A and B are shown apart, each in its own frame.
Chain A
Amino acid sequence: MEHVGIAGAGLVGRLMAWRLLREGCRVTLFDKNDRHSRDNAGLTAAAMLAPYSEVVRGERIVFDLGRASLETWPRWLAELEADTGEAVFYRRQGSLIVAHPRDEADLERFERQLRHKVVPQPGAVERVGPDRLAALEPQLAGRFRHGLFLRDEGQLANDQLFAALERALLGKGCDWREGVRVERVEPGCLVTGRGPQRFDTVVDARGLGLRAEDRRLRGVRGEVLWVEAPEVSLDRPVRLMHPRYQLYIAPRPGNLYIIGATEIESDDLGPLTVRSGLELMSALYSVHPGFGEARVVHTRAHCRPAFMDNLPRIESGEGRMRVNGLYRHGYLTAPALLEDALGLLAGKPAGEAAYPELVHGGA
């Protein structure tokens, strides 16, 4: 039975460990934090599965990965439920893009760029007026004149996913080394403070932890607010156009909403700034006044690991593999990306990967 060592228990590390355990591998998972730590880019995200929205500012391949991942998630989540007995919140009811009247030019640009990059399936991208908007999200009735409905987009609850993966990993006998920092990744070997640990294969999924060694990687700071808003009921994620960013509101069970938008070229891991908080909250309030009385449950800030082209990379070499640079597209792209990574680990040639342009040699 193959023994795989994985460095990093973020989204990529956890998913890889879980898939490898299901395939019958032995897995040892290292992370610098304990398994309940929130010091993680994956837990700062809103986990929207929004290939159409994201292709507007991204490359076509992000859309392809996102579409494929939307098909994989339900299957993986069903398997995870079978492993743990608990369901992870997952919805696919589309998302709405709206703009206040003076930002309508941005909505127009959004749609134009979307249609330039992909030819949507019939009905996947729908311009909506006040009536249709009101039918989709009654609480937004009368608040916006125009919008776009992106029928195929979805979301999942990332905190539930992290917890479910943790249970599944422990249930399947993953050897989880908490609080152990991997300092170097060599072929078949993870070097920690306690010396080299040998495996048949190692996977480097350290995210921003790789930055000290690889200067091509950078942090892109994101900040989110969690609010509890009993007066607001939205069924699907809503994005609001703004001259400088797009605010998103992702609803979660129990009248919880995750609000985010910021994208700052910075490695700073410090708490939410007042300026970002003001921008997020004022935009939130402008979407629905019911948010005025919402409670701020918590705020989070972290940095997404990204390469200069903002595309993920699989670097595959003898006895080791590196998966990194998922940027703001972790949940959107992980299943499709990891299916390629798992194929390579199982000995499939790089040329047969579904996304060969993301596979590079010499990890």
Chain B
Amino acid sequence: MQDQWTVYGTALSSRLFMGSALFPSPQVMADSVRASGAEVVTLSLRRQSPETGAGQAIWDYIRALDCRLLPNTAGCHTAREAVTLARMSREIFATDWVKLEVIGDDYNLQPDPFGLVEAADELIRDGFKVFPYCTDDLVLCRRLLDVGCEVLMPWGAPIGTGKGLVNPHALATLRERLPDVPLIIDAGIGKPSDAVQALEMGFDGILLNTAVAQSTDPVTMARAFAGAVESGRLAHHGGVMPERQTAQPSTPTVGTPFWHENP
């Protein structure tokens, strides 16, 4: 099925974004990205002394994957830090895409909504294409759109928890109220069925890292997610039947004698 979608004017076919951290080795990371079919790979600069280029070897290796790079600002706790790191990333990777993370709580790695809007505003004025990692709060999402974000990345659950979509109601509200904004579920996806659920609900894509990188066999798990995303997307197009309270036989029962019917 031809099913392209667009983020900031770039057409993508895969609905999976992959993170490059926490894999047992760069080789396993590369094999997993290929197995997932992802066209966008996120990467983090924070702890690699970007000003000295000390992470060059791994950056070159990720570049060689031939995916679009989405540098993130993981580990930043203030808008200022995030903006500085985003600018450094733009120079190193020659891309104006940035996955903006401003962390408000360290143990949950929960986004700081206030710092996020502030940093997004500044970066967009500076010409960046910002992919903000945000909570599922509708008002926050609106504010991010107001400052010029064209894509949003609400969380399913806190980063690395693998809890899946913990608040499907809030996510469904987002989808319903922002029907034309590309929404990518970022963080919290633990298993392929979570990915199916997100795509069935009409989310445009998912970003994965821990669920693949820390699985027992990352390459196999990457393939599982590739299948899940495709399945979820097909289900969305196919139109999921509504749930109902009483059973309905799939075979019409017109010919059944009434005394055989249940009360």
Given A264-B47, A265-B58, A58:B24 Cβ within 8 A: yes
Q: Is the CB of B48 within 8 A of A264?
A: yes
A266 at the interface (CB under 8 A from B): yes
**Stretch of B5-13, B49-57, B149-157 contacting A (4+ beta carbons < 8 Å):** B49-57
Interface size class of A (residues with CB under 8 A): 20 to 34
Neighbouring B residues of A295 by C-beta, 8 Å: none
Q: Is the CB of B216 within 8 A of A217?
A: no
Complex Cα gap A198–B28 (Å) = 40
Q: Is the CB of A219 within 8 A of B216?
A: no
Complex Cα gap A308–B49 (Å) = 20
Tell me the minimal C-beta distance from A126 to chain B in angstroms.
21
Q: Is the CB of B52 within 8 A of A268?
A: yes
Complex Cα gap A227–B47 (Å) = 24
Q: Residue of A at shortest CB range from B160?
A: A243
Binary interface encoding of chain A residues 35-60 relative to chain B, with 1 for a CB under 8 A from any of its CBs, else 0: 00000000000000000000001110
Within 8 A of B (CB), among A264-281: 264-268, 270, 275
Tell me the minimal C-beta distance from A39 to chain B in angstroms.
16
Complex Cα gap A109–B47 (Å) = 25
A75 at the interface (CB under 8 A from B): no
Neighbouring B residues of A270 by C-beta, 8 Å: 49
Q: Is the CB of B47 within 8 A of A310?
A: no
Q: Residue of B at shortest CB range from A106?
A: B214
Q: Residue of B at shortest CB range from A114?
A: B216
Complex Cα gap A217–B30 (Å) = 16
Within 8 A of A (CB), among B20-69: 24-28, 30, 47-49, 52, 54-58, 60-61
Given A109-B214, A215-B60, A266:B25 Cβ within 8 A: no
Tell me the minimal C-beta distance from A213 to chain B in angstroms.
13
Q: Residue of B at shortest CB range from A269?
A: B54
Complex Cα gap A243–B21 (Å) = 13
Which residue, A218, A275, A311, has most C-beta atoms of chain B within 10 A? A218
Neighbouring A residues of B160 by C-beta, 8 Å: 243
Complex Cα gap A311–B58 (Å) = 16
Complex Cα gap A270–B52 (Å) = 11
Neighbouring B residues of A275 by C-beta, 8 Å: 47
Neighbouring B residues of A58 by C-beta, 8 Å: 24-25
Given A308-B27, A309-B27, A310-B25, A266:B216 Cβ within 8 A: no
Neighbouring A residues of B49 by C-beta, 8 Å: 266, 268, 270
Tell me the minimal C-beta distance from A132 to chain B in angstroms.
26
Neighbouring A residues of B55 by C-beta, 8 Å: 265-267
Complex Cα gap A218–B27 (Å) = 12
Tell me the minimal C-beta distance from B106 to chain A in angstroms.
10
Q: Is the CB of B54 within 8 A of A266?
A: yes
Complex Cα gap A267–B160 (Å) = 27
Q: Is the CB of A267 within 8 A of B216?
A: no
Neighbouring A residues of B107 by C-beta, 8 Å: 243
A116 at the interface (CB under 8 A from B): yes
Q: Is the CB of B27 within 8 A of A266?
A: no
Complex Cα gap A264–B26 (Å) = 12
Tell me the minimal C-beta distance from B213 to chain A in angstroms.
10
Q: Is the CB of A116 within 8 A of B216?
A: yes
Complex Cα gap A211–B48 (Å) = 17
Complex Cα gap A109–B161 (Å) = 12
Neighbouring B residues of A117 by C-beta, 8 Å: 216
Q: Residue of B at shortest CB range from A306?
A: B25
Neighbouring B residues of A109 by C-beta, 8 Å: 214
Complex Cα gap A270–B51 (Å) = 13
Tell me the minimal C-beta distance from A97 to chain B in angstroms.
16
Complex Cα gap A116–B24 (Å) = 15
Q: Residue of A at shortest CB range from B53?
A: A267
Complex Cα gap A221–B160 (Å) = 23
Which residue, B27, B28, B49, B54, has most C-beta atoms of chain A within 10 A? B54
Complex Cα gap A58–B218 (Å) = 12
Q: Is the CB of A267 within 8 A of B25?
A: no
- Jot down 7 A-B pairs with beta carbons below 8 A, ordered by A: A112-B216, A116-B217, A218-B57, A264-B48, A309-B25, A309-B26, A310-B24
Which A residues are within 8 Å of any B CB, using their own CB? 57-59, 109, 112-113, 116-117, 211, 215, 217-219, 221, 243, 264-268, 270, 275, 306, 308-311
Given contacts A218-B61, A308-B26, 20 further A-B contacts (CB under 8 A): A58-B24, A59-B24, A112-B216, A116-B216, A117-B216, A217-B57, A218-B57, A219-B57, A221-B54, A243-B160, A266-B47, A266-B54, A266-B55, A267-B55, A268-B52, A308-B30, A308-B61, A309-B26, A309-B27, A310-B27
